[in-house]
Structure 1
Amino acid sequence: MGIYSVTKEVRFCYGHRLMNHPGKCRHLHGHSVKVAVTVSAVQLNDQGMVCDFSDLKQVVADFVNQRLDHNLLLHEGDPLVPMLRDAGERFWGLSDHPTAEVLARMVHDHVKEQGYPVEEVVLWETDEAYARYRE
């Protein structure tokens, strides 16, 4: 028996830094990224689809727009967090380091929580480098 899958891509921008990184990623910097969410099913729905592309896009875009797009993502232990909070700046202090791998998992988990059969999430941090998450 075969498996059907569809993939939807969403683009967004974010800033971050990786405190424990030995290289230049320990400094504040930003990325324009693409995330691709693939959902799969053994059977198609009554419309002959795994799911509607626009529905999948909306679920991904809602999370991206609320939490990730044009946001500064930092580890909650980053010494910048209190200063940003005091200044009223937008940021998200994560319990994990804000790597491409962690962001891919976060998008995966959100889409899955919305009831979609997520196969994998791929997040391109650059045109040449990406992280993949699947259960």
Structure 2
Amino acid sequence: MAKIRITKQFSFETGHALYGYDGKCKNVHGHSYKLSVTVIGTPISDSSNVKFGMVIDFGDLKKIVKEEIVDLFDHATVFNQNTPHIELANELKNRGHHVILVNYQPTSENMVIDFAEKIKNRLPSSIKLHSLKLQETETSFAEWFAFDNS
């Protein structure tokens, strides 16, 4: 049976600051991220299966990505846990803001690596993550491909 790729797209709003950066992005700012998740697999051939003809139900993929990425990162502010912004992060937390401390510089490149691991860990064994595209602005994005990371 043929391998098929399917893609689902997601949107979320996230703030961040790049510790040690030499440009404007050292300041706290936000983006309207667009995440495209592409998985690859063989459509289910068992006609008695309610998912007959699907690689994965789009709703099942949506549940995974929402729980692992969108619900966590939407309207959050992300900081490197080693940043001098830690005082600001703690102040924001104390005021009820959603702050995420990560062990990496929160660039699109590093975020897409993090997202790939989270999604791969939740997919059924018959489905493989093919690629992710994290669009930070209209003209700037980072991509992760399984082929490049195997």
Selected match of 1:124 from 98, 113, 135:
135
Number of the residue aligned with 1:34: 34
Distance in 2, matches of 1:10 and 1:65, equals 8
- Which of the residues 22, 36, 59 maps onto 1:54? 59
* More moved, 113-122 vs 31-40: 113-122
Structure 2 CA distance, aligned partners of 1:32 and 1:129? 12
Q: Which residue of 2 aligns with 1:4?
A: 4
Query: CA separation in 2, counterparts of 1:80 and 1:97?
Result: 12
- Alignment gaps of 5+ in structure 1: none
Answer whether contact 2:15 2:29 (CA < 8 A) is retained: yes
Whether the 8 Å contact between 2:19 and 2:84 is mirrored in structure 1 is no
**Are 1:39 and 1:118, in contact at CA under 8 Å, matched by a contact in 2?**
yes
User: Please, which runs of 5 or more residues in structure 2 have no aligned partner?
Assistant: 47-51
Which is greater in Rg? 2
1:17 maps onto 2:12 in alignment? no
Count of residue pairs the alignment pairs up: 134
8 Å CA contact 1:12, 1:64 repeated in 2: no
Tell me the CA shift for residue 61 of structure 1: 1.0
Q: Which sits farther off after the overlay, 5-14 or 50-59?
A: 50-59
Query: Retained in 2: the 8 A contact 1:76–1:94?
Result: yes
Percentage of identical aligned residues: 29
TM-score computed with the length of structure 2 as normaliser: 0.81
User: What is the TM-score of this pair, normalised by structure 1?
Assistant: 0.90
8 A Cα contact 2:80 2:101, kept in partner? yes
CA RMSD of aligned residues (A): 1.7
